[in-house]
């Protein structure tokens, strides 16, 4: 029995500053039926407060506690310690709020999130710290980001550079790894089979659900298409064109 919906954001709930048609109504229906709705995002460069405000601005019901970012998940996963980070301020803030201490000297962790201001100095510092024994953490492995200009390097590209310079692979917090999903389940106090993970990417969202043992619904509003599905050995439980179809499957079946 489904008790909670885990909703991806980019490409699933919104495109840029525009809500995906039907998303707001779907969230209202989920809540009216007494189900939890948790927005789970690989983004580490936006705070839960910012994400919540953005969703409310699209008429999508949300409170701050309804958002789980990869930065928050990293803060919850890591044992208390000192960290050096590459990324934007929301990543550092989430780690500090989670009880961790920023430092540039002998950190326990080097935590790497998307950073549009990445430079050689940051990469060199992170490389030296990882080689000196700091644990290498990646908020998410997204290799590219889609912008109005096209695809640009994402956090995965930064992680690849550090892997090349250190010989170390990062521990990944976000999708498609299961850590962020496990944290979401603990927050909601449910078992994997009581959740449904809804997302637009086979390789990110569906794979994350598969890795965590959570049923998935692929919604064809973003990255993946039916042709991609035909060429994939990874299959979701449901495939829907839009939120109207998803709502009917959940509540009318």
Residues involved in catalysis: 8, 10
| DSSP three-state, residue 171 | strand
C-alpha neighbours within 13 Å on the C-beta side of residue 171: 15
Cα–Cα distance between 190 and 213 in angstroms, integer? Answer: 12
Element (H, E) at 55: helix 48-57
| DSSP three-state, residue 168 | coil
C-alpha neighbours within 13 Å on the C-beta side of residue 30: 29
For 189, counting Cβ atoms within 10 Å of its Cβ (0-12 exposed, 13-18 middle, 19+ buried), the class is: exposed
Q: Shortest CA distance to 85 belongs to which of 47, 26, 23, 139?
A: 139
User: What is the largest distance, in Å, between two alpha-carbon atoms of the chain?
Assistant: 57
Write down how long the chain is.
253
Residues near 163 by beta carbon (within 8 Å), at least 6 away in sequence: 169, 170
Q: Which two tokens mark 61?
A: 């019901």
CA-to-CA dists, residue 158 to 51, 135, 151, angstroms: 23, 16, 15
Residues near 89 by beta carbon (within 8 Å), at least 6 away in sequence: none
């Amino acid at each position: 029995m489904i008790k909670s919906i885990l909703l991806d954001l980019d490409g699933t709930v919104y495109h840029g500053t525009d809500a995906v048609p039907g998303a707001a109504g779907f969230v209202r229906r989920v809540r009216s039926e007494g189900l939890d709705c948790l927005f789970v995002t690989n983004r580490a460069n936006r705070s839960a407060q910012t994400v919540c405000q953005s969703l409310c601005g699209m008429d999508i019901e949300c409170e701050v506690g309804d958002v789980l970012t990869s930065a928050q998940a990293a803060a919850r996963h890591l044992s208390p310690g000192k960290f050096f980070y590459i990324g934007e301020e929301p990543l550092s803030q989430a780690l500090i709020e989670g009880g961790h201490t920023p430092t540039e000297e002998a950190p326990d962790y080097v935590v790497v999130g998307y950073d549009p201001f990445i430079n050689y100095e940051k990469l060199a510092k992170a490389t030296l710290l990882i080689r000196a024994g700091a644990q290498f953490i990646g908020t998410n492995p997204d290799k590219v980001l889609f912008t109005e200009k096209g695809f640009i390097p994402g956090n995965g590209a930064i992680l690849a550079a550090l892997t090349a310079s250190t010989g170390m692979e990062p521990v990944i917090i976000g999708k498609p790894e299961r850590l962020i999903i496990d944290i979401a389940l603990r927050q909601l106090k449910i078992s994997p089979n009581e959740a449904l993970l809804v997302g637009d990417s086979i390789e990110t969202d569906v794979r994350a659900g598969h890795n965590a043992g959570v049923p998935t619904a692929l919604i064809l509003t973003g990255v993946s298409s039916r042709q991609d599905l035909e060429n994939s050995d990874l299959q979701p439980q449901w495939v829907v064109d839009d939120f109207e179809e998803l709502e009917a499957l959940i509540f009318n079946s």
